[in-house]
Amino acid sequence: MSILPTLQNRFRDALGELADDSEKNKLLELIRRSTDPKFGDYQANFAMPLGKRLGRPPREVAAEVIERLDIAEFCRPPEIAGPGFINLEVRDDWLIEQLTAAVADQRLGVPKVARPRTYVLDYSAPNVAKPMHVGHIRSTVIGDSLCRVLRFLGHTVVSDNHIGDWGTQFGMIIYGYKHFLDKDAYWRNPVEELARLYRLVRKLSDADEHPEIGPAVLGETARLHAGDPENLRLWREFMPICRQEIDRIYRRLNVSFDHTLGESFYNDRLKQIVDGLIEQGIARESDGAICVFLKGERVPMLVRKQDGAFLYATTDLATIRYRMETFRPDAILYVVDHRQGMHFKHLFATAALIGYGDVELRHVSFGTVLGDDGRPFKTRSGDTVGLEKLLDEAVSRAADIVAANDAAKPDAPELSTEDRRRIAETVGIAALKYADLSHSRTSDYVFSFDKMLAMNGNTATYMQYAYARVQSIFRKGNIDIEAIRNGGAAITLDSPAERALGLELLRFAEALDLAVLDYRPNLLTGYLFDLAGRYSTFFEQCHVLRAESKKLRNSRLLLCDLTARTIRKGLELLGIDVVEKM
């Protein structure tokens, strides 16, 4: 049972006629975890605003709600404090019962949702003609973690990588191939040569001394879209090369997709979309272009340019239609940079006019990765930082930390060269992903290898270390934890540290519910950090292997085991692996 949602449902019933459904939703948001144990485990703070609206003393309102509140099977009798705070303390016997059930449950006590939905998640979406860069990390890891959490909770999730495989970037590469190709370099490393050509043509097209290149690139793109045989041949030659490179990066990130339907997939559907918009009276001609004029918006949404070319908006409308007809989702989530907010506002409004007003269309926006100077993170030369170089640097730095920690062990180093390499790859990539996920997705954050690889604080390295520390206890004590888990050992919560850890373990389901409520993985990382902190306090205050009795020893071993399993599952839902030794 998830404690907070259950409390909210019980209080909803207890509020009765004191508030309507809309007000109840706002009041129930004021039921929260207590910040201080002396105020109980949870606290309901809605009596003050409700009493003010009703013109009644808040303590009187709180008492009336408590009279109707049915929580006796898992909470002690509520207490009213101060001007009307309702303090709630979970019963110890109920805590023990739930922890015992979680020990035996592969899902760690997390129930599946009662009403599963079907989601389509659109994330990552790189332009395949150029190397992935630091800007792709946020969309990729946020989208992947949301997929994992939603699936774990019982929803059906379709992940679709809507890659850019049909745009101007291919016009740049085709132009570069025809005019600047180094044939030997291309045969040695086609990916590297294509990336060089892209960078070169982009630079030249921006230069004042080469005004002819920009129009020439657009011409190559137009010929590709018109079906020019040579340009299509080159596009078909380049696409597998570009896709292989991107897929290799995804394998390192442990990210996969159900579908990769790029812009080119929808190319033959775009005319039908525009014709339909015109027939429905949703779009009309303006200065030779076809536009959708939305109520309250100054700028229209273009779906066909004067020269007949289609736009991103046209492709996105075709994509929505395909997804609705094929997957029949309840929600389509777009994990895309916040700078695309206006585009999605127009897109969703137009989709509603077409007839897709019932599906939840949501722009899950995110902020920018910044450098120390507070500007978007770039190399010293001003170029965007390549994602693979970022991964390599993270792994290299993790390797130094792993080697230093292993060498400093009091007895002797434990890890082979291969172990160190494998652990460094896991730790380095985990640090990069977790650092992104631990920030609120709507905020910018400053990139720092030192912070993300720190052994303390809210980092993947700290979380992985907490997991590995539990495994070291089992190794040191030669513990068969599965035998204890299946042997009927009882859990006791005799000390404050044990109880605090037990309560935190039962908040896992609550953390997952909160993480998907507004699609914010940082609420899961925050929970894991709190759990690791509770475990650290427990570890310092409660002897495990040297416990006073076998019964107490087994109880504490089960708490250690449940902590490790919860951390491992939480990290897995973030797309992060654990290591047995560090």
CATH number at residue 392: 1.10.730.10
Classify residue 220: in a domain, yes or no.
yes
Classify residue 549: in a domain, yes or no.
yes
Instruction: State the pLDDT at residue 210.
Output: 87
Classify residue 136: in a domain, yes or no.
no
As a whole number, mean pLDDT of residues 528-556 equals 96
Final residue of a structural domain among 90, 111, 135 = 90
Asked if 448 and 566 sit in the same domain, the reply is yes
Give the whole-angstrom CA distance, residue 140 versus residue 436.
Answer: 10
As a whole number, mean pLDDT of residues 9-23 equals 95
Torsion sign (Cα): 146, 148, 153, 159? positive
Asked if 413 and 555 sit in the same domain, the reply is yes
Residue 80's DSSP bridge partners are 86
DSSP, res 90: B
As a whole number, mean pLDDT of residues 4-27 equals 94
Give the whole-angstrom CA distance, residue 406 versus residue 523.
Answer: 32
Burial of residue 76, with CB atoms counted within 10 A of its CB: 0-12 exposed, 13-18 middle, 19 or more buried:
middle
Final residue of a structural domain among 200, 231, 250 = 250
Residue 488 confidence (pLDDT) above 90: no
Instruction: State the pLDDT at residue 225.
Output: 86
Q: Where do runs of H (alpha helix) occur along 363-480? A: 387-407, 417-437, 449-452, 460-476
As a whole number, mean pLDDT of residues 472-477 equals 94
For residue 40, give both structure tokens: 């109980």
Asked if 81 and 215 sit in the same domain, the reply is no
- Highest mean pLDDT (candidates 76-80, 196-200, 224-228, 240-244): 76-80
Classify residue 366: in a domain, yes or no.
no
Classify residue 414: in a domain, yes or no.
yes
DSSP H/E element including 334: strand 331-337
Classify residue 514: in a domain, yes or no.
yes
Residue 381 confidence (pLDDT) above 80: no
pLDDT digits (tens, 9 = 90+) for 434-458: 999 999 999 999 988 888 888 788 9
Assign 445 to helix, strand or coil.
strand
Asked if 523 and 403 sit in the same domain, the reply is yes
Q: Which of 111, 83, 166, 101 is nearest to 485 (CA)?
A: 101
Q: Which of 536, 530, 528, 534 is nearest to 571 (CA)?
A: 528
Residue 133's DSSP bridge partners are 386
Burial 398-431 (b: 16+ CB within 10 A, else e): bbebbbebbeeeeeeeebeeebbeebbbbbbbbb
In the chain, the number of structural domains is: 3
Asked if 83 and 185 sit in the same domain, the reply is no
DSSP H/E element including 366: strand 360-366
Give the mean pLDDT of the chain.
93
Residue 477 confidence (pLDDT) above 90: yes
Give the whole-angstrom CA distance, residue 384 versus residue 7.
Answer: 48
Classify residue 295: in a domain, yes or no.
no
As a whole number, mean pLDDT of residues 508-521 equals 96
Instruction: State the pLDDT at residue 36.
Output: 87
Give the whole-angstrom CA distance, residue 8 versus residue 520.
Answer: 20
Asked if 553 and 413 sit in the same domain, the reply is yes
Asked if 400 and 527 sit in the same domain, the reply is yes
Asked if 203 and 73 sit in the same domain, the reply is no
β-strands 118-122, 156-160: how paired? Answer: parallel
pLDDT band at 169 (very low <50, low <70, confident <90, very high): confident
Residue 582 confidence (pLDDT) above 80: no
Asked if 50 and 181 sit in the same domain, the reply is no
Q: Quick one: what percent of the chain has pLDDT higher than 70?
A: 99
Domain that holds residue 17: 3-90
Give the whole-angstrom CA distance, residue 413 versus residue 426.
Answer: 19
Report the predicted TM-score, pTM, of the whole model to 2 decimal places. 0.93
Residue 468, amino acid: A
Q: Please say whether the beta carbons of 7 and 71 come within 8 A.
A: yes
Classify residue 291: in a domain, yes or no.
no
